């Protein structure tokens, strides 16, 4: 079920009403069971027979391993660690089969000139997210950082529908206490209002901005189009840079807003990443929960920065290489991860040498690097990426624009085909660089005056109406991170 669908807009208030009704009757366990059931329905409604066995078996396996790590008396720490590794390996094998098996077969066929048959395994929604969530849980069980949870609460932690399909990647220590807190069992109208507003901001980001830009990105990356001018190359690259931000941060806003209505605060996943002054700063602002996972469960266990300078650079590079591969079964994601790994090493060396440039120049250079790196992330192969990059550095075509007027050849040169682009792309620039992000907006909202309440209601009505009209008039599209 997609957040940007009328079905979800009907689903959410029904789940909310029943959940708080059950809590009002003090049927707390039934309320948790209801929310877990609703989350599983949300996840599996597209294909119950295929999806539910996968996530339920994953939950049962990890709960059992976690309970053993918490409760069994192991003969030595080595045996306990081996048991933890067994659990983590089980998760990685599940993820590898569904996400990487055909990629593995393709590379075997290429290297050894074999003709192994592809399995064409369908990637289950959200498998990367709920797998990483549970790997972190098992590692913390091994380290003695997890209290005892019952199966129902653990199931809700893993399946809670606002985060399930595309994150944020949750940590048990920040979620389980919220599910247990009796204060969160009571309907709070302020959280309903703030949650609705945050959800609407995210919906607007997705259906108005991201989905509009996606049309131009798809055409620019179309393999049938062999040549792009420099102008067109930059348009396509920047369009995807803003598309993926508004698509993913829009999803996150809708996830945080939905959870807020249940009095649950999910971790912030975006904090104006394109305002970052360095690539290190970018990863403190972009997909924050993935950055946290990579730091705590990959970079630090490899030794972090405590193993000498050379190994620190190695650990940084490998962490981002793994982060790239996490996004999907393609060498393009590995290249994207390698670019960021290389950049983060350069950033560390830059700081070591105590070199400095102005903040504005830092933001510009960081944004330009991220923009170029996204080309490899979006491209299906190096040929596609090179087409965009070649166009961007073909400066002579800028002169051609001055002589012939503004046209986008890859759009057919028709004004009505890109008039929305001339509106949406500048709007994206303004929202990203000149405005507060959605979390900052929500934190500044005060509902203690009639004037502010009316203003909020008007803004909400406009954004929601425009977004729903767009949803009805155009088939809704999946979020980019559903593929990961």
pLDDT single digits (tens) 420-466 = 777 899 999 999 999 999 999 988 888 777 777 788 888 888 998 99
The whole-angstrom separation of Cα 99 and Cα 300 is 25
Residues in the chain, total: 484
The whole-angstrom separation of Cα 88 and Cα 256 is 28
Q: C-alpha distances in angstroms, 365 versus 140, 274, 275?
A: 38, 11, 11
Average pLDDT over residues 10-34: 96
The whole-angstrom separation of Cα 80 and Cα 381 is 43
Confidence of residue 402 (pLDDT cuts 50, 70, 90): very low
The whole-angstrom separation of Cα 250 and Cα 261 is 17
Find out whether 264 and 285 touch, Cβ atoms under 8 Å.
no
Q: Which region holds residue 144: left if phi is over 0, alpha if psi is between -120 and 50, else beta?
A: left
Confidence of residue 403 (pLDDT cuts 50, 70, 90): very low
User: Is the predicted pLDDT of residue 418 greater than 90, yes or no?
Assistant: no
pLDDT digits (tens, 9 = 90+) for 346-393: 999 999 998 889 999 999 999 999 999 999 999 999 999 999 999 998
- Residue in the structure block whose two tokens are 């909202």: 445
Alpha carbon 166 to its chain centroid, in Å, reads 5
DSSP annotation of 277: S
Q: What mean pLDDT, rounded, does the chain reach?
A: 89
Find out whether 24 and 182 touch, Cβ atoms under 8 Å.
no
Least confident of 187-196, 252-261, 348-357, 399-408: 399-408
pLDDT value for 415 = 46
Average pLDDT over residues 185-193: 93
- Residue 120, token pair as written in the block: 């064409």
pLDDT value for 397 = 55
User: Is the predicted pLDDT of residue 93 greater than 90, yes or no?
Assistant: yes
pLDDT digits (tens, 9 = 90+) for 316-347: 999 999 999 999 899 999 999 999 999 999 99
Catalytically annotated residue among 327, 340, 414, 474? 327
pLDDT digits (tens, 9 = 90+) for 31-55: 999 999 999 999 888 677 677 889 9
Find out whether 133 and 95 touch, Cβ atoms under 8 Å.
no
- Residue in the structure block whose two tokens are 């979020």: 479
Average pLDDT over residues 69-78: 88
CA-closest candidate to residue 33, choices 52, 19, 44: 19
Reply yes or no on whether 327 is catalytic.
yes
Average pLDDT over residues 272-295: 95
pLDDT value for 396 = 64
Burial of 402 (0-12, 13-18, 19+ CB in 10 A): exposed
Enumerate the H helices of 353-449 as residue ranges: 359-378, 382-392, 396-404, 415-433, 438-444
State if pTM tops 0.85: yes
Q: List the chain domain ranges.
A: 6-186, 191-483
pLDDT value for 49 = 67
Question: At 170, is the secondary structure helix, strand, or coil?
Answer: coil
**CA–CA–CA angle 133, 164, 187 (5° rounding):** 110
pLDDT value for 305 = 87
CA-closest candidate to residue 173, choices 142, 146, 154, 155: 146
Average pLDDT over residues 161-187: 90
pLDDT value for 409 = 58
Enumerate the H helices of 25-76 as residue ranges: 28-44, 48-71
Find out whether 282 and 307 touch, Cβ atoms under 8 Å.
no
Average pLDDT over residues 145-155: 91
Q: C-alpha distances in angstroms, 148 versus 77, 130, 179, 266?
A: 20, 20, 14, 21
Confidence of residue 404 (pLDDT cuts 50, 70, 90): very low
pLDDT value for 325 = 93
Q: Which residue did the predictor score with more confidence, 377 or 418?
A: 377
For the chain, percent of residues with pLDDT exceeding 70: 94
pLDDT digits (tens, 9 = 90+) for 438-448: 999 988 888 77
Dihedral pair phi/psi, residue 133, rounded to 5°: -55, -40
User: Is the predicted pLDDT of residue 231 greater than 50, yes or no?
Assistant: yes
Q: Which residue did the predictor score with more confidence, 477 or 462?
A: 462
Least confident of 42-51, 89-98, 124-133, 142-151: 42-51
Confidence of residue 79 (pLDDT cuts 50, 70, 90): very high
User: Is the predicted pLDDT of residue 29 greater than 60, yes or no?
Assistant: yes
The residues near 139 (Cβ < 8 Å, ≥ 6 apart) are 84, 88, 297
């Amino acid at each position: 079920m997609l957040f940007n669908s009328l079905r979800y807009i009907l689903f959410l208030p029904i789940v909310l009403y029943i959940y708080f009704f059950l809590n009002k009757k003090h049927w707390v366990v039934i309320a948790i069971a209801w929310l877990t059931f609703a989350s599983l329905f949300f996840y599996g409604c597209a294909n119950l027979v295929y999806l539910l066995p996968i996530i339920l078996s994953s939950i049962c396996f990890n709960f059992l391993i976690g309970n053993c790590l918490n409760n069994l008396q192991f003969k030595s720490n080595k045996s306990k660690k081996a048991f933890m590794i067994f659990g983590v390996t089980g998760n990685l094998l599940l993820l590898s089969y569904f996400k990487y098996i055909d990629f593995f077969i393709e590379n075997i066929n290429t290297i050894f000139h074999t003709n192994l048959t592809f399995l064409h395994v369908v990637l289950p929604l959200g498998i990367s997210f709920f797998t990483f969530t549970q790997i972190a849980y098992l590692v913390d069980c091994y380290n003695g950082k997890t209290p005892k949870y019952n199966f129902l609460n653990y199931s809700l932690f893993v399946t809670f529908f606002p985060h399930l399909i595309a994150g944020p990647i949750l940590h048990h220590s920040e979620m389980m206490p919220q599910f247990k807190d009796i204060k969160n069992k009571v309907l709070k109208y302020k959280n309903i209002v703030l949650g609705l507003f945050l959800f609407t901001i995210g919906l607007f980001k997705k259906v108005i901005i991201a989905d509009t830009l996606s049309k131009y990105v798809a055409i620019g990356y179309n393999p049938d189009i062999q040549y792009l001018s420099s102008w067109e190359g930059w348009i396509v690259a920047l369009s995807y840079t803003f598309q993926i931000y508004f698509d993913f941060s829009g999803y996150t806003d809708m996830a945080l807003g939905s959870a807020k209505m249940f009095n649950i605060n999910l971790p912030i996943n975006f904090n104006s990443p394109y305002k970052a002054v360095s690539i290190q700063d970018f990863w403190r602002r972009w997909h924050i929960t993935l950055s946290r996972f990579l730091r705590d469960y990959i970079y630090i266990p490899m030794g972090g920065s405590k193993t000498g300078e050379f190994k620190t650079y190695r650990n940084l590079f490998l962490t981002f290489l793994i982060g790239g591969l996490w996004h999907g079964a393609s060498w393009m994601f590995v290249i994207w991860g390698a670019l960021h790994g290389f950049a983060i090493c350069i950033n560390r060396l830059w700081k070591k040498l105590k070199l400095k440039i102005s903040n504005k120049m830092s933001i510009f250079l960081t944004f330009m690097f991220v923009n170029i790196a996204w080309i490899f992330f979006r491209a299906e192969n190096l040929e596609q990426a090179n087409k965009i990059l070649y166009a961007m550095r073909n400066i002579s075509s800028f002169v051609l624009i001055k002589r012939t007027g503004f046209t986008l050849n890859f759009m057919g040169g028709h004004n009505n085909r890109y008039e929305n682009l001339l509106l949406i792309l500048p709007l994206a620039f303004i929202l990203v660089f000149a405005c507060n992000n959605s979390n900052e907006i929500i934190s500044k909202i005060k509902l203690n005056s009639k004037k502010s309440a009316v203003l909020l209601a008007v803004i909400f009505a406009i954004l929601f109406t425009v977004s729903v009209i767009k949803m009805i008039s155009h088939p809704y599209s999946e979020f980019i991170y559903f593929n990961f």
